[in-house]
Amino acid sequence: MNFNLFYENSLFVIIATSFFAVVGWSWRKTKPYTLPQPLPSWFGAWFITVQIGGIGLPLLGLLGGIWKGYLEVVTILVSYFLILVLQILTESLSLRWFRSTVFVMVPYIYLPYRLWQLTEGLMLLNPIDESIWVRSLLLGEIVLWTANYALDLSQLPRLFQWSLPTSNS
């Protein structure tokens, strides 16, 4: 088992959680944050895409790794799921419990780390012929989460409810 992944993930969780705690405390006097409504029409389709691509396919990969006895695959995907669950938990707590603007920042911290995890996973795999399916899965996840990150960035004005100045022309 690769203990470096455990240490890297632990360090990331400590730093990210500390960051969110400090920022949340610093911004404690801002008005409670709520998601802008209504959600965009494309949101449902994208949410399902991320559920299938970001959870379903890696779960199948994890089960395949367990079934075939590939310890590297299991280690990489368990690490992936642990950080993904922590991101979802952090988003839920910051939005629903604390109603904090920290919610908006969570993906900007977690997604680059997830991309790092997936890239590192590609490097950790043994170069065996049977790992092509895992390499394809990890590359697909990198594409999915990079697209998700770009989408998150494009939604910043909407999430913060920034309005464009109107011209009197």
**What are the tens digits of pLDDT across the range 108-140?**
999 999 999 999 999 988 676 667 899 999 999
Q: What is the mean pLDDT of the chain?
A: 91
- Residue 33, CA distances (Å) to 18, 27, 47, 73 in order: 20, 11, 21, 39
Say what the pLDDT of residue 101 is. Answer: 87
**Overall pTM surpassing 0.75 (yes/no):** yes
Q: Which of 144, 2, 119 is nearest to 70 (CA)?
A: 2
Helix (H) or strand (E) holding 53: none
pLDDT tens-place string over residues 132-158: 899 999 999 999 999 999 999 999 888
Give the span between the Cα atoms of 106 and 35, in whole angstroms: 14
Contacts of 82 (CB under 8 A, 6+ apart): 9
